[in-house]
Structure formats: structure tokens, C-alpha cells
Amino acid sequence: MDKEKLLECRDRLNTEKKKILERYLKKEDTQHRIEEEAKEPGDWEDMSQMTYTEELLDNLSQREIEMLKEIDNALRKIESGTYGICEGCGNEIPYARLCAIPWTRFCANCAEEYEREMGTYMPSMGFETPLTEDIQIEREDIGEA
């Protein structure tokens, strides 16, 4: 991979890391507000909503922690010169895949195999996107230019 593409991937990784850390700080603020509200609970519905929100925030943070680990791993690989090499087969991961998932450790084939082994594989349901010429939008507030 050339240096320019590598720098683009590094920038994407750093941007995503920054977004996750910002969400984490917002999550911390939300949890603090929930804790303050819990000191003076209203009714059962309020309490169940607070519990649900706390559980949701905990689950999101766990996923984000895993993603931060993957991002940091990818950044270390950039520094060591091994970024973009599939951990499964050792081949170069296509740049298009790295653009879509810059923290990926596997090419598409090895990722699919890994997901099958881990029990997280979700086969394609054959969804086809509609052709744009088949979509008709009728709005009165938009005139022709």
C-alpha cells in the first residue's frame, strides 16, 4: 500500500477513535445525570426507564471498548509496517475494504470464515437495492430548477 493511502487509513482510524472517545464522555455525563435522578425516583416507569438506559449505555460502551482495541491494534500495525495484511491468509487486504473498515484484521473471505467459527456469521439475505429510476418522489415544496 502506498504512503498516501496508508495516511488516509490512519486518519480514518484516528477520526473514529476520537468519535468513540467523545461518545464515551457524553455517556459518562448521561450516566451521571441518571444517577442524580435516581436519588429522587418518581414512579416505577421512571425507574424502569433509567434502568433500561443504564443497561443500554453499558452495552454500547462494551462494543466501543472492543472497537477502540481494534483501532489501537490497527494503529500499531501501521507503525510496525504490517497494516493491511490479513491475519488469516497473509494476503494484502484490498484498499476498498480498509476504507470501509479501517480496523479490520481480515480480508473478506477470512473474515467470513472467522465469523463462521465464532458463530457470528450472518449470511446474505439476497437484498437488492432498488434502481433509482424506479423511485418516484412527489413533493409540492420542490419545484424544478
Residue 41 has pLDDT above 80, yes or no: no
Cα–Cα distance measured from residue 24 to residue 71, given in angstroms and rounded to the nearest whole number: 15
Cα–Cα distance measured from residue 107 to residue 102, given in angstroms and rounded to the nearest whole number: 11
Own/partner contacts of 88-93, CB < 8 Å, gap of 24 or more, are 88/113, 88/114, 92/1
Cα–Cα distance measured from residue 139 to residue 74, given in angstroms and rounded to the nearest whole number: 46
Note the pLDDT tens digit of each residue in 82-131.
Answer: 999 999 999 999 999 999 999 999 999 999 998 888 877 666 555 555 55
Domains of the chain: 3-123 (1.20.120.910)
